[in-house]
Structure formats: structure tokens, C-alpha cells
């Protein structure tokens, strides 16, 4: 555990993740000889969807959470981040079918509630390990965790209050997070057999989301801001290359053959959603404006003016 994680130990919520996997599946760590590499870019096929929009006055803590907003009282959730060349950020790329190879190096992911946002938006967990959740904000959050699948929909795993961080300078909208994390609670998570994805949402602030996928082997990557990825030390063989993003449906699958000391370059895409994908949209309607509250409130994007 890093020094940073040790210093946070008193304030960490460990959400134990026990994932249902295919019966009989196991992964062995072996010395990989003449391993290959797959690198490439994942793009979004289609028009980049507009970010989801949430009217801050309809949620608690509008002034604090409005430190990140569009300047008109709306908080945006950019669940699609696409680079200048069309590369899609935060897509998970993984190889299925690897039964033996390099050691797992994935550490227990740390998810922060910071400025009314879960960071990171996307992460990867290893089956049977945990997720750590801490609160950096001077407001209360309510962590709602769900397992999900296209076939069976979402199922609630837990609903846990995340108490406000009293070490933050509450009331000072200019205050930075130069403090230790707040205390949080522990809750176990059990995913049903066949389900490998779950997401968290704040019950108080619906624009707070974080997604994760459980992996069966260490041959995975998360795409960067330009959609690029690299997976190395792959044992020679034939595998399924899977690309997944939580907002694009079942994802993309391609069969690949990794040769000894070989190097593959893959350019894959996932489909952009079509039609009306969400009811959460920015509407500049006076009925939903700040004046509708009947009292004065100042919502200023002091940290980030969203576009």
C-alpha cells in the first residue's frame, strides 16, 4: 500500500467486492515467455452525445456543488469524453480466455467523492478484492451501489450514507481539498453469477456516477484521453478482445491471435447511442431557474465552467 493510501487508512470505506464468475474458472500466474503486445485506439462511432444536465436547485447543496457547473445553474455529467481524433476515454479493453500469465497488478481502487463528483468515473477491479470510497466534500453523500446487466437490469447492492467531511472549510466555496478524507462506512458487495459490472450513484446528487468492471485476468487496459491503450506480456494464443463502455450497450468483441513476440495494432470502435438516451437535459426555462426558488442563491462555477 502506498504512503498516500496509508495516510488515508482511518477514513476509508472498504466495499468488499465478491464477484460471481463462471464455475470452475481460475487464473494461474506463470512466467510468460515470448509474450506479445496489443496496442491501439478505441473510437466512438457516431455523434458524441450531449452531456446529461441536472438542475442544481432540485438537489441538495446547490451552491457548493455548483462550483462545477455551466454558469446557468446546471451541473453536467460528461459520460462521453472524446479526444480531437475521435478517441474515446474510459473504455475498458480486455482479453477473455487467458488462463495463465503475468501477475495481477491491479491495486484496490480508490474512489473519491470530490466536488460532488465520483473520481474516477471508470475503474477496474479484481474479482474478490475491494473498492475504497472516501468523502472529501463538506456535504453528505448517499452511496447507492447496483449490479447491472443488459439482460436482467440493475439490482441494488447497498445504500450507505457517506457523512460529510468536517475537516473541509464548510461555507468557504473557494476552499481547496488540502485536508484528510472524511470517515465513511463499510459495506459488502456480492454480484450475482454472470454479472461483472456495477455502478455507484449518489442518492442526493444524481449527477455523481462511477462505473466498474470486474476482470478475471490482468490483461486489460483503460483507454486514455485520446482513446489509446496497450496490453503487454500476453501469452501466445487466440483470445477474444472485448471493448466496453457503460453507455454504449454490450460493447465490441473481436477474435485476435497473439504470436510469440508479436505486436498487434487494433483500431476498434463502439457505437454512439442514438435517439433520446436520457431525460436529464439542460432546459433554460424560467420555471426552473434560480428565481423559481423564491429566495436568493448564488451558484458560481468557481472551480470549473462546464461546456
Residue pLDDT, tens place only, 241-281 = 999 998 887 789 999 999 999 999 999 999 999 888 888 99
Strands laid side by side in the 189-191 sheet: 118-119, 110-113, 130-135, 13-19, 189-191
Task: State yes or no: cis peptide before 120, omega within 30 of 0.
Answer: yes
Residue pLDDT, tens place only, 116-173 = 999 999 998 776 667 788 999 999 999 888 887 766 677 787 888 899 998 888 788 8
- Residue 97 to residue 141: CA distance in whole angstroms: 39
> Domain residue spans in the chain?
11-273
Q: Considering only CA atoms, which of 186, 141, 206 is closest in space to residue 168?
A: 141
C-beta separation of 304 from 67 below 8 A: yes
C-alpha cell at 212: 466498474
pLDDT class of 289 with cuts at 50, 70, 90: low
Assign 3-class secondary structure to the chain. Answer: CCHHHHHCHHHCEEEEEEECCCCCCCCEECCCCCCEEEEEEEEEECCCCCCEEEEHHHCCCHHHHCCEECCCCEEEECCCCECCCCEECCCEEEEECCCEECCCCCCCCEEEECCCCEECCEEEEECCCEEEEEECCCCCEEEEEEEEECCCEEEEEEEEEECCCCCCCCCCCCCCCCCCCECCCCCCEEECCCCCEEEEEECCCCCCEEEEEEECCCCEEECCCCCEEEEEEECCEEEEEEEECCCCCCCEEEEEEECCCCEEEEEEEEECCCCCCCCCCCCCCHHHCHHHHCCCCCCCCCCEECC
Record the pTM. 0.84
228, HSE (Cβ side, Cα atoms, 13 Å): 7
Judge residue 129's burial from the number of C-beta atoms within 10 Å of its C-beta, 0-12 exposed, 13-18 middle, 19 or more buried: middle
* List of residues 6+ apart from 2 with CB closer than 8 A: none
Residue pLDDT, tens place only, 60-113 = 999 999 999 999 899 999 999 999 999 999 999 999 999 999 998 767 788 999
Q: Is the pLDDT of residue 16 over 70?
A: no
Amino acid at each position: 500500500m502506498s504512503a498516500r493510501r496509508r495516510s488515508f487508512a482511518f477514513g476509508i470505506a472498504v466495499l468488499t467486492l465478491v464477484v460471481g464468475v463462471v464455475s470452475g474458472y481460475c487464473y494461474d500466474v506463470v512466467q510468460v515467455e515470448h509474450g506479445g503486445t496489443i496496442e491501439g485506439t478505441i473510437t466512438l462511432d457516431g455523434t458524441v452525445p450531449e452531456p446529461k444536465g441536472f438542475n442544481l436547485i432540485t438537489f441538495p447543496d446547490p451552491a457548493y456543488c455548483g462550483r462545477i457547473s455551466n454558469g446557468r445553474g446546471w451541473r453536467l455529467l460528461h459520460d462521453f469524453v472524446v479526444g480531437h481524433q475521435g478517441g474515446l476515454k474510459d473504455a475498458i479493453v480486455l482479453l477473455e480466455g487467458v488462463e495463465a500469465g503475468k501477475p495481477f497488478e491491479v491495486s484496490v481502487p480508490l474512489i473519491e467523492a470530490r466536488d460532488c463528483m465520483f473520481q474516477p468515473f471508470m475503474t477496474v477491479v479484481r474479482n474478490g478484492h475491494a473498492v475504497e470510497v472516501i468523502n472529501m466534500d463538506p456535504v453528505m453523500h448517499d452511496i447507492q451501489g447496483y449490479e447491472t446487466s443488459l439482460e436482467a437490469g440493475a439490482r441494488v447492492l447497498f445504500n450507505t450514507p457517506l457523512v460529510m467531511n468536517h475537516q473541509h472549510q464548510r461555507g468557504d466555496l473557494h476552499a481547496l481539498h488540502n485536508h484528510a478524507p472524511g470517515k465513511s462506512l463499510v459495506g459488502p458487495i456480492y454480484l450475482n453469477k454472470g454479472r461483472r459490472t456495477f455502478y455507484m450513484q449518489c442518492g442526493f446528487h444524481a449527477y455523481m456516477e462511477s462505473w466498474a468492471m470486474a476482470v478475471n485476468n490482468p490483461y486489460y487496459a483503460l483507454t486514455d484521453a485520446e482513446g489509446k491503450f496497450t496490453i503487454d506480456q500476453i501469452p501466445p494464443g487466440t483470445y477474444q478482445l472485448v471493448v466496453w463502455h457503460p453507455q454504449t450497450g454490450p460493447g465490441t468483441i473481436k477474435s485476435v491471435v497473439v504470436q510469440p513476440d508479436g505486436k498487434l495494432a487494433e483500431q476498434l470502435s463502439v457505437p454512439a447511442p442514438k435517439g433520446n438516451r436520457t431525460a436529464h437535459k439542460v432546459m433554460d426555462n424560467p420555471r426552473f431557474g434560480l428565481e423559481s426558488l423564491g429566495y436568493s442563491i448564488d451558484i458560481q462555477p468557481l472551480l470549473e465552467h462546464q461546456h
